[in-house]
Amino acid sequence: MQINITARKFTLNDDIRDYVEKEVSSLSKFYEGVIEADVVLGWEKRMRFVEVTLNANGTVFIGKDSSENMKKSIDRAVEKLERQLKKFKEKKKNKRVEKLV
């Protein structure tokens, strides 16, 4: 999976970059079709925000979060994407079963 990371209004350090890459790459275990991830990290007033956009075989998934801690925001955004991917995979599986019946 290709991961593109963009930092807005701050300089991205290696610690945060490595953390983002580790967390976002873990999403591929929930759905094998994830091709690309675009991650935008930034500051807004005192809040840190994260927006992760996944492209999975033409289907787009978006996870956003903001908090006072960057790692907490990353974790929450990734958790939202995990739920979306699990739900999508389950729906896809159920449609396949319905077609067979």
Residue with structure tokens 């990290």? 41
| Domains of the chain, earliest start first | 2-100 (3.30.160.100)
- What confidence score (pLDDT) does residue 93 get? 78
88: amino acid identity, one letter: F
Q: Which helix (H) or strand (E) holds 42?
A: strand 34-44
Given a contact cutoff of 8 angstroms between Cβ atoms, the answer to whether 63 and 39 are in contact is no
Tens of pLDDT, residues 27-67: 988 888 888 999 999 998 889 999 999 998 889 999 999 99
Tens of pLDDT, residues 62-92: 999 999 999 999 999 999 999 999 999 888 7
Interacting residues of 73 by C-beta distance below 8 A, sequence separation 6+: 48, 49, 50, 65, 66, 67
